[in-house]
């Protein structure tokens, strides 16, 4: 008969990932495989003496988060993978991913097992990709406003010239003005279609959330928008939290939500107006406010703003078109993140869009609560 225990122990001993079993009742490690020595630079025989010092190398912002995770894990209330940062001396920041398991032994001890993988390389790739996408999307938005405004101005000049000049009956000037108008209209349409396609493509991909500090994540696109003030023709400012605020976020999708809200603000704010983004840390949520002092939204249109193909869509102050999908998609993305989006607007005064997302410790407590109730 095949000895399955020996087979699986052999697999564990040759695995590149760290595997362990910890007795939470006696507070001691019962087993680690050989990967412990290569990953953590310790000695398997001394793991119980070494692991407190290793825990001290966890990123300070991750320790409080892990306390709550640990409480759920020791009661068998979570099977979710967790990612943490590990600050080994004289080495770049490392990312570790834990896949947990829980069992109760015959003598009633709580046994915590799991696999720890070093995910630093894919994590750094993902961070670089998110950074690139944030900069790209903000730059596209800046260029689209700048180019659209130029083409709309050309279109308006062509219309004015046709009305003002009396051309000879055999003149080709009216035809040339028609070409100028049509080309400008088509160019504006192509620019906005490009931006809309980029947004739609992002929305139609699977949600991939990571635990992130929202301030540094949003700083990149907001800095890009601020550096583009000259092209945008508006005053643009932003304020970030002074403390770390962690949320569960699909970085690419959510940064596009913020950029889309800023884009809408720019469309309906005069050239000398002001658009501001404020990110506030609240006890249980993070609040993102996008405020402008533009023309505002008519009261009768406000109930329909977040509908798909909404009848509340209207041309921007410079003739910018809209598909009527933007705010509906923003609402979907925010709700996928267990958040809310709302609007307050007064005609002639301005508009504020408010997005609230749960802080990750609150979100995970809510997600764990049905499981906790079931096991009580």
DSSP per position, 168-188:
-TT-SHHHHHHHHHHHHHHHH
Q: Is the dihedral of CA 300, 319, 308, 238 positive or negative?
A: negative
Radius of gyration of the chain measured on its C-alpha atoms: 28
Q: What is the tens place of the pLDDT at every residue in 40-60? A: 989 999 999 998 999 899 999
For range 94-101, the mean pLDDT = 93
- Nearest-angstrom CA–CA distance, 84 and 107: 32
**What pLDDT, on a 0 to 100 scale, did the predictor assign at position 376?**
38
Does residue 96 sit in helix, strand or coil?
strand
- Confidence band of 116 (pLDDT split at 50, 70, 90): very high
Q: Give 3 or 261, the one with higher predicted confidence.
A: 261
- Nearest-angstrom CA–CA distance, 37 and 44: 7
**What pLDDT, on a 0 to 100 scale, did the predictor assign at position 322?**
65
pLDDT-above-70 percentage for the chain = 73
Q: To 10 degrees, what angle do helices 214-227 and 251-267 make? A: 40
**What pLDDT, on a 0 to 100 scale, did the predictor assign at position 100?**
93
**What pLDDT, on a 0 to 100 scale, did the predictor assign at position 193?**
63
- Confidence band of 1 (pLDDT split at 50, 70, 90): very low
Are 292 and 253 spatial neighbours (Cβ–Cβ below 8 Å)? no
Q: What is the tens place of the pLDDT at every residue in 334-373? A: 999 999 999 999 998 999 999 999 998 777 766 655 444 3
Question: Cα-flanking dihedrals φ and ψ of residue 271, to 5°?
Answer: -60, -30
């Amino acid at each position: 008969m095949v000895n399955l225990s020996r087979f699986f122990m052999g697999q564990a001993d040759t695995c590149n990932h760290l595997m362990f079993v910890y007795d939470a009742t006696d507070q001691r490690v019962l087993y680690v495989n050989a990967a412990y020595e290569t990953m953590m630079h310790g000695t398997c025989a001394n793991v119980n003496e070494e692991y407190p010092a290793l825990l001290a190398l966890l990123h300070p912002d991750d320790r409080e988060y892990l306390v709550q995770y640990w409480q759920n894990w020791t009661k068998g209330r979570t099977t979710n993978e967790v990612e943490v940062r590990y600050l080994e001396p004289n080495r770049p920041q490392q990312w570790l991913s834990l896949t947990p398991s829980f069992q109760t032994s015959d003598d009633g001890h709580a046994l915590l097992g799991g696999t720890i993988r070093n995910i630093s390389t894919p994590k750094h790739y993902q961070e670089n990709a998110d950074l690139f996408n944030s900069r790209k999307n903000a730059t596209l938005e800046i260029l689209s406003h700048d180019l659209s405004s130029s083409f709309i101005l050309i279109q308006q000049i062509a219309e004015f010239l046709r009305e003002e000049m009396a051309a000879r009956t055999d003149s080709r000037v009216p035809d040339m003005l028609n070409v100028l108008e049509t080309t400008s209209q088509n160019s504006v349409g192509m620019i906005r279609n490009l931006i809309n396609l980029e947004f739609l493509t992002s929305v139609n991909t699977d949600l991939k959330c990571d635990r992130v500090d929202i301030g540094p994540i949003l700083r990149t696109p907001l800095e890009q928008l601020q550096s583009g003030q000259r092209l945008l023709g508006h005053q643009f400012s932003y304020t970030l939290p002074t403390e770390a605020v962690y949320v569960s976020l699909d970085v690419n999708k959510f940064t596009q939500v913020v950029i889309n809200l800023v884009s809408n603000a720019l469309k309906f704010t005069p050239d000398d107006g002001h658009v501001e983004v404020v990110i506030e840390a609240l006890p249980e949520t993070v609040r993102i406010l996008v405020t402008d002092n533009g023309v505002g939204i008519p009261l009768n249109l406000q109930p329909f703003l977040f509908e798909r193909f909404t009848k509340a869509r209207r041309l921007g102050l410079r003739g910018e078109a809209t598909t009527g999908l933007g705010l509906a998609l923003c609402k979907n993305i925010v709700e996928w993140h267990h958040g809310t989006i709302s609007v307050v607007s007064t005609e002639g005064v301005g508009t504020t869009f408010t997005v609230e997302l749960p802080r990750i410790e609150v979100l995970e407590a809510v997600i764990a609560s049905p499981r906790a109730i079931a096991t009580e």
